[in-house]
């Protein structure tokens, strides 16, 4: 990857280029733009899609996102929702909702450096397994972020 040290406008605190991909490397993506949101979802669909107790995500403008290698398989986990994942290794990669085609969520842990986009809150905690504990002190929402 080419370094972009010459970009005078780049500031570490507002880093706006993000790269990631699946476990096997068949699918890679890049986002050139700021994250608009960052959270972690505990809903049943995300739990099943990730086979994990929660699925952290970061939202971007769809126009800022591109696949740079390969092409993922897609699955409609509900009529409006399209989730993508690597057809070879199964890593969940993106989430899109038909009601918001201008936005796209990437699965934070598919980033090469997930530390750059920590979640800011937890949603759908009412769906989480009882044995899964949340100890990071972030705001908790039983369902969506509009209800507590």
Cα-Cα-Cα-Cα dihedral of 89, 74, 140, 114, to 10°? 40
Under a CB-based contact definition with an 8 Å cutoff, are residues 128 and 44 in contact? no
Stretch that binds Zn ion, among 79-87, 107-115, 128-136, 139-147 (CB under 5 A): 79-87
Decide if residue 49 touches Zn ion (CB under 5 A).
Answer: no
Among 16, 26, 52, 81, binds Zn ion (CB under 5 A): 26
The Cα 52–Cα 127 span in angstroms is 12
Residues 98-137 that bind Zn ion (CB under 5 A): none
C-alpha distances (whole Å) from 58 to each of 36, 91, 93 are 7, 16, 11
Decide if residue 22 touches Zn ion (CB under 5 A).
Answer: yes
Among 10, 36, 73, 89, binds Zn ion (CB under 5 A): 89
Instruction: Name the site residues for Zn ion (rule: CB under 5 A).
Output: 22, 24, 26, 41, 43, 46, 86, 88-89
């Amino acid at each position: 990857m080419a370094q972009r040290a010459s970009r005078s406008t780049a500031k570490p605190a507002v880093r706006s280029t993000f790269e990631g991909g699946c476990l096997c490397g068949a699918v890679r993506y890049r986002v050139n733009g700021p994250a608009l949101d960052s959270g972690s979802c505990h809903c049943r669909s995300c739990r099943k899609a990730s086979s994990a107790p929660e699925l952290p995500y970061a939202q971007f403008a769809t126009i800022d996102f591109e696949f740079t290698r390969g092409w993922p398989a897609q699955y409609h986990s509900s009529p409006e929702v399209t989730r993508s994942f690597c057809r070879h290794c199964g890593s969940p990669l993106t989430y899109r909702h038909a009601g918001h085609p201008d936005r796209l969520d990437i699965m934070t842990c598919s980033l090469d450096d997930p530390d750059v986009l920590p979640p800011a809150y937890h949603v759908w905690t009412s769906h989480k397994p009882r044995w899964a504990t949340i100890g990071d002190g972030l705001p908790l929402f039983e369902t969506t972020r509009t209800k507590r």
